[in-house]
Amino acid sequence: MEHVLEREDRQEELTKEIKSIVKEIENDDLKVVTFMEYTSPPKEIKPKVIKFNKALELLRLIAKQGKIQKGVAKIMFYSPSTERSRGLTPTMMAGFQYIEPGVATKPHSHNMASIYLVVKGKGYSIIDGKKYYWEEGDIFVVPANAVHSHVNTSNEEVVLFDVTDSGLLENLGILEFKEED
Ligand SMILES: [Fe+2]
């Protein structure tokens, strides 16, 4: 896999004397970098259009199949060009959540924050023990590390669209996800 940052260091050009001191400092778990020639940002991140109708078709099928949770589906999108960030941009990821009527998602938390748009349906979210009601067109926020679950109280399907900063955390190698008991 390619690295997000391309680096060229000229360690090989060090004199013998310097190399031997570097060797004394280094061990299996510690390396010395004497100077970096340059770094470059990730390659171009391309604009994207995600078709809602196709996404909805997929969500309905996943929820119906119920392999992860009966009546619930979650899909997320990323551009391979963001490499280890796995985002649509190096800092952000987006996706859809689908909940069948009368179903609640399993409570969980993560250190990414999320902003949701209610695309379809009506219900509420329990965020750190408190209920927040929403309906089509509303926006709600789940802060980082808040335990949350979403409940569909209507007779119709619920579709939520969310944008998170998971790309940023994934890129830093500190993305955490916890499922509650
Ligand atoms: Fe979540």
The pTM assigned to this predicted structure is 0.82
* pLDDT single digits (tens) 65-89: 999 899 999 999 999 888 888 899 9
* pLDDT single digits (tens) 115-132: 999 999 999 999 999 999
pLDDT, mean of residues 53-62: 97
CA of 69 to the centre of ligand 1 (A): 14
CA of 122 to the centre of ligand 1 (A): 18
Percent of the chain having pLDDT more than 70?
91
Cβ 19 vs Cβ 52: under 8 Å: no
Ranges 1-5, 6-10, 51-55, 143-147: which has the least confidence? 1-5
CA of 162 to the centre of ligand 1 (A): 9
pLDDT above 90: residue 106: yes
Q: What's residue 8's pLDDT? A: 65
CA of 113 to the centre of ligand 1 (A): 8
* pLDDT single digits (tens) 2-46: 445 566 667 777 888 988 999 999 999 998 887 766 666 667 888
Q: In this structure, how many other beta carbons lie within 10 angstroms of the beta carbon of residue 155?
A: 9
Q: What's residue 37's pLDDT? A: 62
CA of 139 to the centre of ligand 1 (A): 15
- Closest among 126, 72, 74, 130 to 102, alpha carbons compared: 72
Q: What's residue 150's pLDDT? A: 98
Task: For each of the domains in the chain, give its residue range(s) and CATH number, in order of start.
Answer: 6-40 (no CATH), 52-179 (2.60.120.10)
